């Protein structure tokens, strides 16, 4: 049995839940309330020395970093697949996922926002910061997704790109980012989000959700 250490509103943990539910892999969850700094407890740092969620505990060992976890899930449970059949298409899907996981999300995670506030930035400034980086990433992704023709982020099949896009759109909506400039990206996220597997992974449907 796999154990996912996460938190209901964590975008990175949400990516992993999406892949687990898409593949129909059974798992249990352990929650670490980020608002109470439970992810910085010594007991958790042994599993994840960065003090971040998610961590996936497997019979072979523990894995940190959501993209590494997604790749391990894809290799270990190849069907149904979250990667296309050609090397170039797989690279393109990974590039979309990295745009989100490496270049958008890290700029608005809790520790960065906490640091901005500690440096004296007011809430309006923090909100502008969040919107700036999400919009910059979405501007780049919008034509990439449009070029694949939908309905999902990389065309007709669900991929790792959707596992990253759905949580990023959830965060954008939560932070009040204006989504009007990204109709194709929004439609792709909505298409994937409507599926039963994606609904099961939704933050509001997790046992630790307090809405």
Ligand X SMILES: N[C@@H](CCC(=O)N[C@@H](CS)C(=O)NCC(=O)O)C(=O)O
Binding mask 75-104 for ligand X (x = CB under 6 A): --------------------------x---
Q: Which residue from 63, 58, 66 is spatially nearest to 48, judged by alpha carbons?
A: 63
Taking the complex as a whole, how short is the minimal distance between the CB of residue 134 and ligand X, in angstroms? Answer: 14
> Which residues from 46-75 bind ligand X, rule CB under 6 A?
52-54, 65-67
Contact 159, 82 (CB under 8 A): yes
**What 3-state DSSP class applies to 201?**
helix
Task: For residue 187, give both structure tokens.
Answer: 């439609």
Binding mask 18-47 for ligand X (x = CB under 6 A): ----------------x----x--------
In the set 4, 5, 8, 12, which binds ligand X (CB under 6 A)?
Answer: 12
**What 3-state DSSP class applies to 97?**
helix
Count the alpha carbons within 13 Å of 10 in the hemisphere toward its beta carbon: 25
Site for ligand X contains 110 (CB under 6 A) = yes
Taking the complex as a whole, how short is the minimal distance between the CB of residue 70 and ligand X, in angstroms? Answer: 9
Q: Exposed (0-12), middle (13-18) or buried (19+): which is 57, by Cβ within 10 Å?
A: middle
For ligand X, the closer of residues 11 and 137 by Cβ is: 11
Site for ligand X contains 201 (CB under 6 A) = no
Site for ligand X contains 168 (CB under 6 A) = no
Pairwise CA distance, residues 95 & 25, whole Å: 25
What does the binding site for ligand X look like in residue numbers (CB under 6 A)? 10-12, 34, 39, 52-54, 65-67, 101, 109-111
């Amino acid at each position: 049995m796999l154990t996912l250490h996460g938190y209901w509103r964590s975008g990175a943990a949400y990516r992993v839940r999406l892949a687990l539910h898409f593949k129909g892999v059974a798992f249990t969850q352990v929650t670490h309330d980020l608002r109470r700094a439970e992810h910085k407890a010594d007991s958790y740092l042994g599993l994840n020395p960065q003090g971040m969620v998610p961590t996936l505990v497997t019979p072979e060992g523990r894995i940190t970093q959501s993209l590494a976890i997604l790749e391990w899930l894809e290799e270990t449970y190849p069907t149904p697949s979250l990667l296309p059949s050609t090397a170039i298409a797989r690279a393109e899907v990974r590039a979309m996922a990295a745009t989100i996981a490496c270049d958008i999300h890290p700029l608005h995670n809790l520790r960065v926002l906490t640091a901005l506030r500690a440096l004296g930035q007011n809430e309006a400034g923090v909100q502008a910061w969040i919107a700036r980086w999400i919009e910059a990433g979405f501007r780049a992704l919008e034509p990439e997704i449009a070029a694949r023709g939908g309905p999902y982020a990389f065309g007709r099949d669900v991929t790792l790109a959707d596992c990253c896009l759905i949580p990023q759109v959830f965060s954008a909506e939560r932070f009040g980012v204006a989504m009007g400039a990204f109709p194709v990206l929004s439609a792709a996220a909505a298409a994937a989000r409507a599926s039963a597997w994606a609904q099961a992974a939704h933050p509001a449907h997790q046992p630790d959700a307090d809405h």
